[in-house]
Amino acid sequence: MSTEVKSEVLKVLEDRHSVKQYQVGHKMPKADLEQLLTSTSQAPSSWNLQHWKFLVIEDQAQKEKLLPIAYGQKQIVESSVVIAILGDLEANKNVELAFGPAVEAGHMPKEVYDTLAAQIERAYQYPQVARDEAIRNASLAAMQLMIAAKAMGYDTCPMGGYDAAKFVEAFNVPARYVPVMLISVGLAASPARSAGRLPLDQIIVSNTF
């Protein structure tokens, strides 16, 4: 990685802050939205099962429906788009989609595929494993989305403050998916302010407690 690229990446990470006030009425171009979601989909995931689903809420009427479910947080209706990050509780069903092409192309031996598939099925016998993996990996995608958005000139705000049960009912979310968070995306109406961070000596433990 060149020094210039490294500097740009670190600057995006430094500049990303949660924004709650957006330029009302801005509509994100389709090409930008597709680029944002494509970049998000490049996030890492356990076994490469890609344990996520993105419910993209652009329609203003749908955002108005979401507003009371999100306890009246104005960024829901003022941002360009709200993306609901959902975790896949049945990501084990993605084995063929994730590894099939590699097997067909000769990049993965069939016996390796069979071993991986069996390992995944054993793990997914336990509901807690499925839930932990869904939330963990969908959260990686969520962070990737926010970084990608900032690199594209947009700002975001992750939201955990909403009624998940009402969200599932109102937006017909299948039982396969667990809501992880909502993320508003748009153009900031005013510059974000850093909330500050704890110093490293407060958050780092070397080697062992």
Residue 160 maps to which CATH number? 3.40.109.10
CA distance 27 to 127: 40
Query: What pLDDT digit, counting tens, does each position of 95-108 carry?
Result: 999 999 999 999 99
Give domain status of residue 174, yes or no: yes
Characterize 16-26 residue by residue with b for buried, 16 or more Cβ atoms within 10 angstroms of its Cβ, and e for exposed: bbbbbbbeeee
Neighbours of 110 (CB within 10 A): 8
Say if CB 156 and CB 127 are below 8 A apart: no
Mean pLDDT, all residues of the chain: 96
pLDDT in tens, 29-81: 999 999 999 999 999 999 999 999 999 999 999 999 999 999 999 999 999 99
pLDDT for 1 equals: 60
Specify if 208 maps to a domain.
Answer: no
Is residue 16 within 8 A of residue 154, CB to CB? The reply is: no
pLDDT at 55: 98
Q: Which domain holds residue 115?
A: 3-203
63 and 117 Cβ atoms separated by less than 8 Å: no
Say if 43 falls within a structural domain.
yes
Q: Does residue 113 form part of some domain? A: yes
5 has pLDDT over 90: no
Whole-angstrom Cα distance, residue 186 to residue 191? 12
Flag whether 209 is in a domain: no
Angle between the N-to-C axes of helices 127-151 and 30-40, in degrees from 0 to 180, rounded to the nearest 10: 130
Residue 145 lies in a domain: yes
User: How many domains are contained in the chain?
Assistant: 1
Q: Decide if 12 is inside a domain.
A: yes
Q: What per-residue confidence (pLDDT) applies to 192?
A: 82
